[in-house]
Chain A
Amino acid sequence: MLVYLGKRLVYTIPIVIGVSIVCFMLVHIAPGDPLVSVLPPDASEQLKIQMMAAYGFDRPYYEQFFKWCLRAIQGDLGTSIATGRSVTGEVLNAVRNTLLLAVVATFIGFFFGLLFGFVAGYFRNSAIDKIASILSVIGVSVPHYWLGMVLVIVFAAQLNWLPPTGAGPGGSSEWRPDWAHIRHLILPAVTMSVIPMGIVARTIRALVADILSQDFVPALRAKGLSELGIFGHVVKNAAPTALAVMGLQLGYLLGGSILIETVFSWPGTGFLLNAAIFQRDLPLLQGTILVLALFFVMLNLIVDVVQTAIDPRIQRS
């Protein structure tokens, strides 16, 4: 197992290098002048060249890349062109908010996804199954920014129960575990939980139905296990696939929340990314994308390792 872990870690190194190259290049390939947001529209050529040199944009790409990497390893992702603040600080703050939202949404989504999935898989073609299936199809197919807006209209504008936007009272982006902040979390988290709920429910339903149709289930019954004992076997059989799906969903939630964060003005990575793109803030954009991509790599690694640890059918070679 340790050998496997070591190997798996070594394999991630080229992935990480590849990811950083792509992050770096992507931003440079994209059209637009990186300094347009800080320079006055009537700036002279002289000033432009000066600024380019100050940010290092006049150097060849490979040199910029190595410098960027070297500093990134030390935890320095440069300074934001738009705000002049440290990118690392901005990204970390945004990551904290996104993580909070993603984890709460994942919790809600997985809880109901697992519940609906297991119930539907156990009672296939019953009324409960049909209701759960309809809910999960809706969950997967409804655009979530639209759902977010509907929830805002109903619960914030009409009923006035919950705040429509922001992460805390008075637009604060520092999160604190008090009721005023939790209120802000509810609508975006519920909106965000709908997609993993639908996907997890559908996956688990199919998985449970498949496991229950296998021959070892009557064999377990034949040796006298209770239905609860058999349920334990079903769970352990479903666990590797379920974990893989849930890990991926968590990954999507961590990275793919631009729309929801924008709808709710949630100060997370998606929001930050959005701002960085519109302001052509190169260092901020590169830094945010890199951190998100590394998240994905790490999450994949964890899912793989956990899956291998709990599924004896996967060869550890």
Chain B
Amino acid sequence: MLTAPPLVDIQDLKVTFTGGPKPICAVNGVDLALERGETLAILGESGSGKSVTLRALLRLNPEKRTKVDGRIAVGGEDVLALKPRELQAFRGRTVSMIFQEPALALDPVYTLGHQIAETIVKHNGGSYADAKAKALDLFERVRIPSPERRLENYPHEMSGGMRQRAMIALALACNPKVLLADEPTTALDATVQIQILLLIRELQREFGIAVIFVTHDIGVAVEVADRVAVMYGGRIVETGPIRDIIRRPRHPYTIGLLKSRAHDAMAKGTRLDAIPGSPPDLANLPPGCSFAPRCKLGTPACTEAVPEPVAVGEGHEARCFRTDQTAAA
């Protein structure tokens, strides 16, 4: 095939934390592809490895205590092979990130204007004054009222929603190709959440960037995403277009997730944690499917080998031996 490679291409990513007494296998073979301008939502319960996967894309996991295997390519660049200087140039310019808690992710003792201008000067060179002007432009685009004044504010002088807008402005400062957003609205009020989501979606179209969006909230995923990847125990257990996943989920875990919140369909703010049983111990993973112990359809075969992805529709795959059963459900 001669199709162009995807913008983000993750193959068989494995992340193991070796700092503790036992190695923790947080990510166990993730494959992900993202096209230019596409928005992917990663869903999954707490501890399933969503944040670790995002951080791996920017090599933000603590280098000394982390073993990373597999391949990560963004725009043809091999991320895991970047030298320190190249990595600095890559971070923030090719791929940038919005964090869950803008109150904690911004430096408290610098003005927002400085924090943005500093990034622009670092990546694009040029004068500090030009960078400040660009920062003002960014503040206008993320629609922060009275932007001139706000640029001189410190993070603690702004509301949560305004801070997250500033964080988004910072992330967009150097026109990245990929934006990573790790639960960017979880720390915000419901009404502010919607505004921020709409803003991200709008800017994503305007700038044509690809977005990987981590969330607990299916409602949020429906709002912003083209495609969904459901993570469980450090693996992507199901991936496909958002509509397919909602209407015809094929992995028992996804089915459980959707069922657990079926009564208040698509309501925002519902966390995905109502499936009986507890998530797998990442320091001691079972040899087979890690969902098997909690699965209603589990068979002895499920506990012996990890299922490979099975195509169950157009661009829709599930890692399950029993997709024939789930089709009926």
B88: A residues at CB distance < 8 A: 224-226
- B174 CB, min distance to chain A CBs, angstroms: 8
Q: Which residue of B lies closest to A225 (CB)?
A: B122
A223 to B180 alpha-carbon distance, docked (Å): 12
Query: Is A237 positioned at the interface, with any CB of B under 8 Å from its CB?
Result: yes
Q: Is the CB of B106 within 8 A of A219?
A: yes
Query: Is B66 positioned at the interface, with any CB of A under 8 Å from its CB?
Result: no
- A314 CB, min distance to chain B CBs, angstroms: 11
Interface stretch of the complex, out of B25-33, B38-46, B94-102, B278-286:
B94-102
Chain B 153-174 interface mask (CB, 8 Å, partner A; 1/0): 0101000000000000011011
Select A223's contact among B101, B104, B119, beta carbons within 8 Å. B119
B111: A residues at CB distance < 8 A: 312
Q: Is the CB of A215 within 8 A of B99?
A: yes
Of B91, B96, B105, B111, most A-chain CB atoms within 10 Å: B105
Instruction: Give the interface size class of chain A.
Output: 20 to 34
Q: Which residue of B lies closest to A217 (CB)?
A: B107
A229: B residues at CB distance < 8 A: 118, 122
B90: A residues at CB distance < 8 A: 224
Q: Which residue of B lies closest to A239 (CB)?
A: B109
Q: Which residue of B lies closest to A311 (CB)?
A: B109
Interface positions of A from 208 to 252, Cβ below 8 Å from B = 214-216, 218-226, 229, 233, 236-237
Select A237's contact among B107, B119, B170, beta carbons within 8 Å. B107
Q: Which residue of B lies closest to A221 (CB)?
A: B60
Q: A224-B88, A224-B90 are in contact. Are A312 and B109 (CB under 8 A)?
A: yes
Select B109's contact among A218, A219, A224, A237, beta carbons within 8 Å. A237
Select B122's contact among A218, A224, A236, beta carbons within 8 Å. A224
Q: A216-B104, A229-B122, A312-B154 are in contact. Are A222 and B109 (CB under 8 A)?
A: no
Q: Which residue of A lies closest to B106 (CB)?
A: A216
Query: Is B108 positioned at the interface, with any CB of A under 8 Å from its CB?
Result: yes
Q: A224-B119, A224-B123 are in contact. Are A215 and B89 (CB under 8 A)?
A: no
Main secondary structure of the interface of A (DSSP, over half): helix
B99: A residues at CB distance < 8 A: 215, 219, 222
- B175 CB, min distance to chain A CBs, angstroms: 13
Chain B 165-196 interface mask (CB, 8 Å, partner A; 1/0): 00000110110000000000000000000000
Q: Is the CB of B104 within 8 A of A215?
A: yes
- B154 CB, min distance to chain A CBs, angstroms: 4
Q: Is the CB of B110 within 8 A of A236?
A: yes
Interface positions of A from 271 to 317, Cβ below 8 Å from B = 310-313
Q: Is the CB of A224 within 8 A of B60?
A: no
- B130 CB, min distance to chain A CBs, angstroms: 18
A311: B residues at CB distance < 8 A: 109
- B102 CB, min distance to chain A CBs, angstroms: 9
Interface positions of B from 51 to 100, Cβ below 8 Å from A = 55, 58, 60, 88-93, 96-97, 99
A310 to B109 alpha-carbon distance, docked (Å): 8
Q: Is the CB of A222 within 8 A of B104?
A: no
A225 to B101 alpha-carbon distance, docked (Å): 20
B108: A residues at CB distance < 8 A: 216, 237, 312-313
Of A218, A219, A225, most B-chain CB atoms within 10 Å: A219
Q: A215-B101, A312-B154, A313-B154 are in contact. Are A222 and B106 (CB under 8 A)?
A: no
A313 to B156 alpha-carbon distance, docked (Å): 8
Q: Which residue of B lies closest to A224 (CB)?
A: B92
- A188 CB, min distance to chain B CBs, angstroms: 37
Interface positions of A from 129 to 172, Cβ below 8 Å from B = none
Q: Is the CB of B107 within 8 A of A224?
A: no
A225 to B58 alpha-carbon distance, docked (Å): 13
Q: Is the CB of B91 within 8 A of A222?
A: yes
Q: Is the CB of B122 within 8 A of A222?
A: no
Of A223, A236, A312, most B-chain CB atoms within 10 Å: A223
A223 to B169 alpha-carbon distance, docked (Å): 12
Q: A229-B122, A313-B154 are in contact. Are A220 and B107 (CB under 8 A)?
A: yes
Select B91's contact among A224, A236, A313, beta carbons within 8 Å. A224
- A42 CB, min distance to chain B CBs, angstroms: 70
B91: A residues at CB distance < 8 A: 221-224
Q: Is the CB of A224 within 8 A of B89?
A: yes
A216 to B105 alpha-carbon distance, docked (Å): 4
A216: B residues at CB distance < 8 A: 104-108
A219 to B171 alpha-carbon distance, docked (Å): 10
Q: A214-B104, A215-B105, A313-B156 are in contact. Are A222 and B110 (CB under 8 A)?
A: no
Q: Is the CB of A222 within 8 A of B92?
A: yes
Interface positions of B from 4 to 23, Cβ below 8 Å from A = none
A162 to B58 alpha-carbon distance, docked (Å): 57
- B58 CB, min distance to chain A CBs, angstroms: 5
- B152 CB, min distance to chain A CBs, angstroms: 10
Q: Which residue of A lies closest to B89 (CB)?
A: A224
A233 to B108 alpha-carbon distance, docked (Å): 10
B101: A residues at CB distance < 8 A: 215
Q: A215-B99, A222-B97 are in contact. Are A233 and B107 (CB under 8 A)?
A: yes
A313: B residues at CB distance < 8 A: 108-109, 154, 156
Q: Please list the residues of chain B having a beta carbon within 8 angstroms of any beta carbon in chain A.
A: 55, 58, 60, 88-93, 96-97, 99, 101, 104-111, 118-119, 122-123, 154, 156, 170-171, 173-174
Q: Can you list 14 A-B pairs with a CB-CB distance of less than 8 A?
A: A220-B107, A221-B58, A223-B119, A223-B122, A223-B171, A224-B91, A224-B92, A224-B119, A225-B118, A225-B119, A226-B122, A229-B122, A233-B107, A313-B154
A-B pairs with lowest CB-CB distance, top 6: A224-B92, A223-B92, A215-B104, A224-B91, A219-B105, A312-B154
Known contacts A224-B122, A229-B122, A236-B107; 16 further A-B pairs (Cβ under 8 A) = A215-B99, A215-B104, A218-B60, A219-B106, A221-B58, A222-B99, A223-B91, A223-B92, A223-B119, A223-B171, A224-B89, A224-B123, A229-B118, A310-B109, A312-B154, A313-B108
